[in-house]
Amino acid sequence: MFRSISSISFSGQLEDKIEAAARAGFDGIEVFREDIIGFDGPPEEIARFAEGEGIGIVSLQSLRDFEGFDGPARDAAFRRAARFLDLAKRIGAPMLIICANTDPQSNADRGQIAADLSDLAAMAAERGLRLGYEALASSAHVNTVADALDVVNRVDADNLGLVIGAVHLFAMETDPAVLAEIPPEKIFLVHLADAPTGRIDRALLAQSFRLFPGQGMMPVAALYTRLRAMGIEAPMSLEIFNDQIRSLPPSQIARDGMRAFHLVEEAHRQQSHTHSDLVAPAFIEFTGQGDEADDLAELLRAMGFARTHVAGKVELWRQGEAVIALNRMEEGLAHSIYLLQGLSVSGIGLQVDDLDQMDQRLGLFHGEDATLDGPSPYGLRVVRGPGGSVFYLAGGPIESAPGFARFEPTGEQPAGHVLRIDHCAQALQPNLFLSGLMFYRAVFNMRSEEARDVLDPHGTVHSRTLANDDGQVRLSLNSSFGAGTTTQRFLEKSGFAPWHHIAFACDDILACARALPPEDVLQVPPNYYEDLACRYDLDPALIAEMRDLNIFYDRDAGGEYFQLYTRTINGVFFEIVERRGYRGMGAVNAPVRMMAQLRVLEEQDALFLM
C-alpha cells in the first residue's frame, strides 16, 4: 500500500512538510500549488528535494474549473491547463489532479465535458503525465463518483483516471456499493479523510472540519477495506484541512497521519486476524510527598481503601479490584512529575490481553518508550501518552507485574463498597486534543463517541469519551479554550500528565456516602435537588437522602446512575459511581460539579487574598 499525504494537511513551508512526511514513513506527498510559492528555490528543485528525503511526489493539486466552457473562456481554460501541466512536469509530479468544475455557469453537457478532458488527456500524454479527475460534493454538474466515472469512461484514455474523495462520498451520501462498478485500474488516487459529524451542509463538510481517519465519525475504515478488497493499488492520500490540526508542528501531523493509516489498515486486517486489546485498568499511580501524600492516603482510607502492600516508598492501596499505587519515591519518572507540579496522577497501569501483540502494535504506531530516569517500581513496560502522560502495561492484574515480588503485605484489609476503577478523565490543551484522541484510537484501539460540549461556569469544555471493546477501560478527554474553566485552571498548574479525576465503581453508593466524612465530599448546591425533582419522577425520600449525602443522579435508556465527588487535592479528585445499567459518564451533571468545584476554588482564592 502506497501511503501518501497532501501538503495541505500541514502548516509551514513546503520543505518542512516534505521532510516531516518522509520521516514519518510516507511513500509520497501531494503538492498543493499554493505551497510551491513558499518553496525556497525554482519548482524544478522540488522533486530533487523530495528524492533527497526519500519520498516521492504523487501529484500536483489541483486544476479547478477547467471543463465545460465555450469560446474564449474555453481557450483561456486550456491555456491555464497547459501551464498547470507544465508546472506538474517541472515539480516532478507524475499526475495532475483536476477537480470537477464548480462553476454553475459551466456547461453541463456530458459530451462536451468528456471532449474537454479528452483533449486535456492528450496534452498530458505528450508530457508523459496522468490526470486524476475528482468529483467534489460542491461541483456543479459532476458531483458523484458515478458521474465522474461516466466522464472517464467516455474519454477512455489510459492516462485519465478517477480520484475518489472520501469526504465527498460521505457528503453526497453515496452508497459505497457504487465503487464495485469501477475497474480498479481506473482509480488513480484515493483521498482519505474523516469528519466529526454528517450533520453539516455538504459544501461545508467538504471544505472544513476535516479530520484524520479515526478522529471523526465517518466510516473511513469500511471504505478503505472495500477499496482494498477491490484490489486497487492506487496511492491512498490523507487530505485534511483543519485549523486545529494545522496548528501542530509538521512532525506531529505526520505522525498522527501515519497512525491514522495504521488504524484503517489494522481494521482491514482484523477481518481475518485477532487483535490485542485492553482488559481493564490495573492500577493508578499517584506521585506525592509529605503532608500532601498523607492527605491522599487519608482520603483513600476514608473511601474504604487499605494500604495492603508496601515496597520501600511505594504503597499499594486496594479495595475490590481497584488499586492505587502511592509512590513517595524521591527519584524516577513519577518523582519528576511531582517536582513539576506537586501531587499528581503520575501513571495509569493498564491490563493488556496479549503483551507481545501489544508490543508489535506499539512499534507499528510509533508508541515511544518513556525512558525512566531512575528505578521503575513495578518492572512494567512504560509508554508515553498525550500531554506527557505515562502508561504502565501489564499482562494481568498488578500481582502479575515482575516488580510485585518486592511488595510486602501489611495485613491491612479494605472495608468498603468500591468494586473497581470505572473511568479516568484527562485534560488536554486544545491544540493537543485531536492528536491525543488519535493516540488512544490508534495505540490502544479504543473507540470514541461523538464530541460533546459541557457548559462550565466560565466557558465550554469540549469532551470525547473513549472505551475499549467491552467498556472495561473508559477515559474521557477534555479541553477548553476559556481561560477560566475548571479544565483550563487545572491545566495551568498541572499541565503534565494531566489526569484530573479517577472514578471508582461501587455497589452501594449510599453506604459509600454515609461512610465518608462530610468534609471529604464535594458539596452539591441545594437547588440541584429542586431541579432533580423537576426533571424526574423520583421518590422524594430518595431525593432527600441524595441531598443529605451530596449524591448526583442521572438516567439513560440503560438505567440509573449515582455519583459523588470527593474534595480536591492539588486539583485531583475522586468520583464514586454506582451504575444500575447506565452506560454514560454523567455528562449532564458535569456543569454542576464544575460549578461546585469552582466555588471551593474561589473561596480558597478569597482566603488566600485576605
CA 1 to chain centre: 23
- Tell me the site size for a second copy, rule CB under 8 A: 56
Considering the complex, state which of residue 460 and residue 472 has its C-beta at the smaller distance from a second copy: 460
Tell me the window of 37-45, 229-237, 259-267, 361-369 that interacts with a second copy (CB under 8 A): 37-45
The three cell numbers of residue 118 are 479528452
Site membership for a second copy, residue 102 (CB under 8 A): no
- Whose Cβ is closer to a second copy: residue 165's or residue 196's? 196
Please give the backbone phi and psi of residue 96, each rounded to the nearest 5 degrees, phi first. Answer: -110, 130
Interface pick for a second copy out of 1, 2, 13, 420 (rule CB under 8 A) = 13
Residues whose CB falls within 8 Å of the CB of residue 288, separated by 6 or more in sequence, listed in order: 296, 326, 327, 328, 338, 342, 343, 344
Q: How far is the CB of 90 from a second copy (least distance, A)?
A: 8
Q: Does residue 109 bind a second copy (CB under 8 A)? A: no
Alpha-carbon span 472 to 19, nearest angstrom: 40
Q: Is 275 near a second copy (CB under 8 A)? A: no
For 1-42, give the DSSP string: --EEEEGGGS-S-HHHHHHHHHHTT-SEEEEEHHHHHT-SS-
Nearest-approach distance from CB 457 to a second copy, in angstroms: 6
Residue found under cell 465545460: 68
Interacting span for a second copy (CB under 8 A) from 31-39, 145-153, 224-232, 438-446: 31-39
Which of residues 185, 298, 356, 531 is near a second copy by CB under 8 A? 531
Stretch that binds a second copy, among 50-58, 228-236, 450-458, 498-506 (CB under 8 A): 450-458
| Closest approach of a second copy to the CB of residue 524, in Å | 9
Among 533, 542, 587, 601, which residue interacts with a second copy (rule: CB under 8 A)? 533
Candidate list 15, 30, 456, 578; residue touching a second copy; CB under 8 A: 456
Least spacing, CB of residue 108 vs a second copy, in Å? 22
Amino acid code (one letter) for 492: E
238 closest CA partner among 6, 2, 1, 56: 6
| Contact pick of 48, 54, 70, 83 for a second copy (by CB under 8 A) | 83
Question: Does residue 542 interact with a second copy by CB under 8 A?
Answer: no
Among residues 52, 183, 184, 525, which is the contact residue for a second copy, using CB under 8 A? Answer: 525
At residue 99, the 3 state secondary structure works out as strand
Name which of 88 and 418 has its Cβ closer to a second copy: 88
Interface with a second copy (CB under 8 A), residue from 29, 352, 442, 592 = 592
Quick one: 256 exposed, middle or buried, by C-beta within 10 A (0-12, 13-18, 19+)? buried
By CB atoms closer than 10 A (0-12, 13-18, 19+), residue 538 is middle
Rule CB under 8 A: is residue 71 a binding residue for a second copy?
no
CB-wise, 184 or 484, nearer to a second copy? 484
C-alpha cell at 155: 474519454
530 near a second copy (CB under 8 A): yes
Check binding of 600 to a second copy (CB under 8 A).
Answer: no
Least CB distance to a second copy at residue 195 (A): 12
DSSP string spanning 135-159? --TT-SS--SHHHHHHHHHHH--TT
Positive/negative CA dihedral, 126, 132, 138, 144? positive
Nearer of residues 379 and 430 to a second copy, judged by Cβ: 430
Tell whether residue 605 is a contact of a second copy (CB under 8 A): no
What span, in angstroms and rounded, lies between the C-alpha atoms of 27 and 37?
A: 23
Touching a second copy, residues 223-242 (CB under 8 A): none
Q: Segment near a second copy (CB under 8 A), from 398-406, 440-448, 506-514, 534-542?
A: 534-542
Whichever of 91 and 506 has its CB closer to a second copy, that residue is 91
Which of 181, 527, 606, 610 binds a second copy (CB under 8 A)? It is 527
- How far apart, in whole angstroms, are the C-alpha atoms of residue 511 and residue 74? 80
Please tell me whether residue 495 binds a second copy under the rule CB under 8 A: no
Residue 312 touches a second copy, criterion: CB under 8 A: no
CA distance 29 to 184: 22
Q: Tell me if 558 contacts a second copy by CB under 8 A.
A: no
When asked if residue 559 is in the footprint of a second copy (CB under 8 A), the reply is: no
H or E element at residue 376: none
Counting contacts by CB under 8 A, is residue 247 touching a second copy? yes
Q: Does 603 bind a second copy (CB under 8 A)?
A: no
- CA-closest candidate to residue 192, choices 148, 234, 239: 239
Q: What is the Cα–Cα distance from 223 to 216, expressed in whole angstroms? A: 14
Of the candidate residues 455, 511, 515, 542, the single one contacting a second copy (CB under 8 A): 455
Q: Segment near a second copy (CB under 8 A), from 32-40, 112-120, 364-372, 444-452? A: 32-40
Q: Are 19 and 252 in contact (CB under 8 A)?
A: no
Burial of 438 from C-beta contacts in 10 A (0-12 / 13-18 / 19+): buried
Which backbone phi and psi does 218 adopt, to 5 degrees? -90, 155
Residue list 173-202, contact with a second copy (CB under 8 A):
197, 199-201
Q: Is 595 in the site for a second copy (CB under 8 A)?
A: yes
Applying CB under 8 A, does 534 fall inside the site for a second copy?
A: yes
The per-residue b/e assignment along 326-364, b for 16 or more CB within 10 angstroms, e otherwise, is bbbbeebbbbbbbeebbbbbbbbbbbbbebeebeebbeb
Residues in contact with a second copy by CB under 8 A are: 11-13, 33-34, 36-40, 42-43, 76, 79-80, 83-84, 87, 197, 199-201, 203-204, 208, 243-244, 246-247, 430-431, 453, 455-460, 481-484, 525-528, 530-531, 533-537, 591-592, 595
